[in-house]
Structure 1
Amino acid sequence: MALSATGIAVHFSGVRAVDDVSVTLGRGEILGLVGPNGAGKTTMVNVFSGFQAPTAGQVNLEGQGVAGRDAAWLARNGVVRTFQAVRLFHGLTVSENIEAALTSHGFSRSAARHRALEMLDYLGIAGRAQTRADALNYGDERRVGIARALALSPRFLLLDEPAAGMNVIEAEVLSDLIRRIRDDFGCGILLIEHNMGLITRTCERMHVMASGRTIAAGTPEAVFADAAFRAAYLGIKETA
């Protein structure tokens, strides 16, 4: 069972943001999607999650084509994402932020409240449930974004730079959390990150993009040994 994208291209006014990229995310695996700024990583996540229609190529959810399906349909069917900017409703409490997402997907208010508290407890921030979102620190904002995604019981969870702004210790805690989510929810996790320590600590596979194209894919060990990756991402050029 997998979420797969085949031959994806996305063009904006002649600019090829993504050009013939194929990525497969299996249930129960953690895949790192990495590359320099402007590589096309977030555009690929937008395609996977229904926020961007591809110019060419197709996305399949466990064998079913999803052309024409929007983000709400994909979320209801198990493809859930977080955003680099968490996008909380600052005038609402933490619990209300999660409840709002759930009621928009058909949960009753009582069921949404119960599920929100369950997810906050899972992430260790149940004590912040009645805190207004605009009073949260940066780390707790990120946890609420993850709680909101987990509340929808994802089969595939797409995390867009969840460690941005975190220090080394916070990133290590996040790595442990991501692996625990994979184990407890049985979902596939796509992790976009610039933090190579987090990627190598957390992911079984890496998919590397540069200038909208795939330049390397495989285990972290294989990718780090790849000359194209070392040149494009680390700035290391091989010498004869």
Structure 2
Amino acid sequence: MSLADVRLVANALDVGHAGSPVLEDVTLTLRAGEITVLLGPNGCGKSTLLRTVAGLLPPLGGEVHVDGAPLASLGRRALSRRLAFLPQTSQVPAGVTVRELVRHGRYAHRGALARHTAEDAEAVGWALEVTDAAPLSGRRLDELSGGERQRAWLAMVLAQRAGVLLLDEPTTYLDLRHQFEVLDVVRRLAREHAIACGVVLHDLMQAAAYADRVVVAADGAVTAAGPPGEVLTPDVIHRAFGLRVDVVRDPASGYLACFPRRPGSPAAD
């Protein structure tokens, strides 16, 4: 993949709160058309890292570039045209329809008070379509199921038409079917629309199934990074999570599966 496909780069990045680092010396590269999944135990700094590269927290050290421009040089609206961020939880506005919510994603291009243009309408329609949220566009957000609501929020950030999409635990609070529905949408966005996706997940199986690259954080640093087949190994998982697992590859799908190892049981071949 060429340098032109690199959408976000973080070098020697230290992240944390109030001057106290939780992750240090992080290197992270997000490429067009790929999903990079951030994994690690609770409190390891995954969400802090994501919020820092999104420009919501100041880095404690190092630098981030988005589409070749230093993050620190970009104003809020200029950054929003390049990068979209969906937090772990979002407050549901009372009485707002899905289409009205998605139109908020155009503020990065026209401001809150400017009139909507044909370009805005096209971007909103596209975002609703690619997230399968178009049939929901006239419904109120507070009437939707968890999976429907998450697709609506995804459509809102996609309406920014940014080349980088950062998602902090987008499957939280969703049942299993809706988790996979949302991840299917993310994979389609990466593959078909050349969006660089950075996603925080907890589920190792979902990371194995959807990630092009996996970044594992633990003990204040990135401990492993690379394709799922190279990173999701029993040793890496044990060092990061303190969990003994066997990792096997499903012969039909090719996906990796991780199974907790019972005490005293032999390791899988």
Q: Structure 1-normalised TM-score?
A: 0.89
Equivalent runs, 1:69-80 vs 2, <5 Å: 69-76=74-81, 78-80=82-84
Q: Is the 8 A contact 2:21 2:60 kept in 1?
A: no
Q: What 5-or-longer segments of structure 2 have no aligned partner?
A: 246-260, 265-269
CA offset digits 1:85-105 (Å, max 9, x no partner):
133423321111111231353
Q: How far apart are 1:144 and its partner, in Å?
A: 0.8
1:95 equivalenced with 2:87 (yes/no): no
Q: Which runs of 5+ in 1 are unaligned?
A: none
Listed as ranges, the matches of 1:165-176 within 5 Å are: 165-176=173-184
**Alpha-carbon distance, 1:125 to partner:** 2.3
Per-residue CA shift, 1:142-167, capped at 9, x if unaligned?
Answer: 10111011112221111111111233
Amino acid at match of 2:238: R
What are the superposed Cα offsets for residues 85-139 of structure 1, whole Å, 9 maximum, x if unpaired? 1334233211111112313531742433443233223322222212222222211
- Could you say what the CA RMSD is over the residues aligned between the two structures, in angstroms? 2.3
Tell me the CA shift for residue 29 of structure 1: 1.3
Q: Which residue in the other structure is 2:66 paired with? A: 61
Runs of 4+ in 1 over 6 A off after TM superposition: none
Letter of the 1:170 counterpart = H
C-alpha distance in 2 between matches for 1:231 and 1:110: 52
The answer on whether the counterparts of 1:51 and 1:71 sit within 8 Å (CA) in structure 2 is no
Partners of 1:16 and 1:103 in 2: CA distance: 33
Alignment check: 8 A CA contact 1:79 1:156 kept: yes
Quote the residue 1:16 is aligned against: 21
Amino acid in structure 2 at the alignment position of 1:188: A
CA distance in 2, matches of 1:23, 1:137: 34
Structure 1 pair 125/10, CA: closer, same or farther in 2 (3 Å)? closer
Match of 2:51 in 1: 46
**What are the Cα deviations for residues 48-77 of structure 1, in whole angstroms up to 9, with x where unaligned?**
11111101100012332222434432111x
Kindly provide the amino acid, as one letter, of the partner of residue 109 in structure 2. Answer: H
Conservation of the 8 A alpha-carbon contact between 1:117 and 1:129:
no
The answer for the alignment partner of 1:154 in structure 2 is 162
**Equivalent in 109, 116, 131 of residue 109 of structure 1:** 116
Candidates 171, 183, 199, aligned match of 1:163:
171
CA distance in 2, matches of 1:63, 1:35: 28
SS in structure 2 at match of 1:67: helix
Question: 1:50 touches 1:69 (CA, 8 Å); kept in 2?
Answer: no
Letter in 1 for 2:175: N
- How many angstroms apart in 2 are the aligned matches of 1:61 and 1:104? 16
In structure 2, give the amino acid aligned to 1:174: V
Structure of greater Rg: 2
1:190 and 2:198 matched: yes
Taking structure 2 as the reference length, what is the TM-score of the superposition? Answer: 0.80
Deviates more, 1:107-116 or 1:155-164: 107-116
Q: Tell me by how many angstroms 1:31 deviates.
A: 0.8
Paired residues, number: 238
Identity of aligned residues (%): 27
Judge conservation of contact 2:23–2:222 (CA < 8 Å) in 1: no
Q: In the aligned structure 1, how far is the partner of 2:142 from the partner of 2:55?
A: 28
Give the drift of 1:14.
5.0
- The higher relative CO (CA closer than 8 Å, separation ≥ 6) is in 1
Cα deviation for residue 30 of structure 1 reads 1.1
Q: Which moved more, 1:93-102 or 1:227-236?
A: 227-236
